[in-house]
Structure 1
Amino acid sequence: MRLTVLGGCGAWPAAGQACSGYLVEHEGFRVLVDPGYATLPRLLELVRAEDVDAVLVSHGHPDHCSDLNPLLRARALGDAPPAALPVHAPPGALDAVLALDRAGMLAGSFEPHDLRPGTPCEVGPFLMEAFPLPHHVPNAGLRLSAGGRTVAYTGDTGPDPALVTLAADADLLLAEATYPERVPDEDAPYLSTARDAGRTAAAAGAARLLLTHLWPDTPHEPALAAAAASYAGETAVAVGGLTVDLGG
C-alpha cells in the first residue's frame, strides 16, 4: 500500500501548494481521498483522470472536495468517458460541488455512495470503515485496510474517543493538526492540534504519524515538536509530493 500526498493545506492553498488530497494505491487500484482545492493538477502529474478508481470524501467543506468538480469534468467531457466513478461521502456533503454545473452535465460520470459509519464496505481491494467525528459539518474519519496494512485518516475533527479506535494499530495515522498547540475557543470542539494528534497516535499504537491540514504558511517545526511531546514514533508533515510506502 502506498499513500501520496497531493496537498495538505487547511482552509486554502498556500502559494504553490494544494489543500487536502491523498492518493492511496494498492495492487493497481487507486483511491483519491479528499480532492480539495488545487489537488487535481497534482493528481494529473501522477495518473490520468480516468485511472482513478474511487473517491472518498471525509466532509463537504470545499478545501476537501472542490476539485471533485474538475475531476468529473475531465472524465465526462473527454473523447472516451470511462465508467462511472464511485464517490463515497457523507449524505448531502457533495450537494454544493455537484451543483456547480448545469443539471445533467455530469450525469453518468459518477456513482454516489453514502458513507455509513459502523458498516464496513469493500472499495476495490480495500476494506473501508467510517467513523463519525465532530466538525462544523458531518465528518467521517476513514480507515482503509489492504494487504495487512492500514491507513487511518481523521478528516477534520475535534477531540473524540473514537479517534483511538479509528487509528488503532494503524501503520499510518494521517491526522488533522490545524494548530500546533491550541485551537481558538470557538473552534475547539471541531478542530485539532498537532499535540492532540500525537496523543491519539500514542494511545492508538499507530506506527507512523503524518500531520496534515496545517494553517497555510504555518512553520512545520512547532507542529512536529508539539506532536513529539507525547508520541515517539516517526512523524512528518503532509506536503505535496510526499510518498509513504507501507508495504503489504
Structure 2
Amino acid sequence: MRRLSVLGTCGAWPEAGRGASGFLLEYEGFRLVLDLGYATLPRLLEHCAAADVDAVVVTHEHPDHCADLSALCRALTFGERRSGLVPLYCTPGVVRRVQAMEPTEDLLDVFAVHPLPGSYRVGPFQLDGVLLPHHVPHAGLRLTAPGLTLAYSGDAGPAPALARLAAGADLFIAGATLQGARSDDGDPHLMSASDAGTWAGRAGAERLLLTHFWPGSNRERSIAEARSAFSGDVVAADEGMTLPL
C-alpha cells in the first residue's frame, strides 16, 4: 500500500476542525510522518498507533510544523512503548523548541535525531533535505523509493532549488500561504498558490498538492491561481484526505 494521508493543512494556526501542517506517508508498510504541527497527532492516531510510526521528518522549528512532536513524545513515553528510538530528521532548533514544552520528559529518550539538510536512507526511501528560504533554517524534502518520487516544500519561499527538489516528482506538496500575484516586494520567505504552480511546472511534476493555507483563505481561489501557472493536476489538501500513490 502506497498512500499519503493529510493530517493538517493550515499555516500559522489551525482553523476550527482543522490542523496545522502534517502528513503521513505510507509505503509498503513503512510509516513516515512529514511535519507534526498543532492538532495533527489525533488524526495521525486514526491511521496508526504512536508506536507504529517508523520515522518523523520536520522541516523547521515553527510550532505550526512541530508542536505535536511534543504530543507524540508523550504518547510514546506514557502510552504504548516501542522497541528502539524513533528516527527524527529535522533542522537545527526543532528539538530545542519542542523540548521547551517538555520540562520533565527528554525528547532524546524517544527520538534519535539526525540533522537536516542532509541525505539519508530512511526505510525504503532516499531522503534528501535541501535548504530553502524561510524565517528560520528550513529544509525542503525529496523522497524517492521504487516507483515513487515525492517532494515537499514545507513553508519555504520560492527559490531555484525547488526545480531540482521536485524534478519529475509524482507528487509535489507545496505551501500556498499567499494569494494573488507576487510583487517585487513580496515576502521572500513564503509561497503563493501561483508560485507553487510556477515551480511545479518548472520542475515537471506530475501532480501538485497545495497546503499550508492561511486561515480563512478561499481554497478554490488558490487552486485556480495554481492552475493558471501549472497544466498538471492540482488539488487542495484537506484534513482526512488520503491520496493513493
Aligned equivalent of 1:14? 15
Task: Tell me which moved more, 101-110 or 46-55.
Answer: 101-110
Counterparts in 2 of 1:107 and 1:220: CA distance versus 1, 3 Å: closer
Following the alignment from structure 2 to structure 1, what is the Cα–Cα distance between the partners of residues 123 and 71? 23
Does the Cα contact within 8 Å between 2:51 and 2:81 map onto a contact in 1? no
Assess, with a 3 A threshold, how the Cα gap between structure 1 residues 21 and 97 changes in structure 2: closer, same or farther.
Answer: same
Residue 24 of structure 1 corresponds to 25
The letter for the 2-side match of 1:215 is: W
Q: Determine if contact 1:12/1:216 at 8 Å carries over to the other structure.
A: yes
How far apart are 1:212 and its partner, in Å?
Answer: 0.5
Q: Which runs of 5+ in 2 are unaligned?
A: none
The residue aligned with 1:217 is 216
**In structure 1, how many angstroms separate the alpha carbons of the residues matched to 2:180 and 2:203?**
20
Residue 65 of structure 1: how far off its partner (Å)? 0.2
Deviation at 1:171, TM superposition (A): 0.2
Which amino acid in 2 is paired with 1:131?
Answer: V
Match of 2:91 in 1: 90
In the alignment, residue 194 of structure 2 is paired with which amino acid?
A: R
What per-residue deviation string (whole Å, max 9, x for no partner) do you get for residues 73-97 of structure 1?
A: 1001125344211111012232111
Letter in 1 for 2:92: P
TM, length-normalised to structure 1: 0.94
> Percent of aligned positions with the same letter in both sequences?
50
Separation in 2, partners of 1:4, 1:79: 22
State the AA in 1 paired with 2:174. Answer: A
Match of 2:125 in 1: 126
Contact 1:7–1:22 (CA under 8 A) maintained in structure 2: yes
Q: Deviations over 1:143-199 (max 9, x none)?
A: 111122111000111121000000000000000000122468876110010000001
Describe the SS at the equivalent of 1:34: strand
2:194 is the alignment partner of 1:195: yes
CA distance in 1 between counterparts of 2:65 and 2:210 reads 15
Task: Give the whole-Å Cα distance in 2 for the aligned partners of 1:106 and 1:93.
Answer: 11
Partner amino acid, structure 2, of 1:73? R
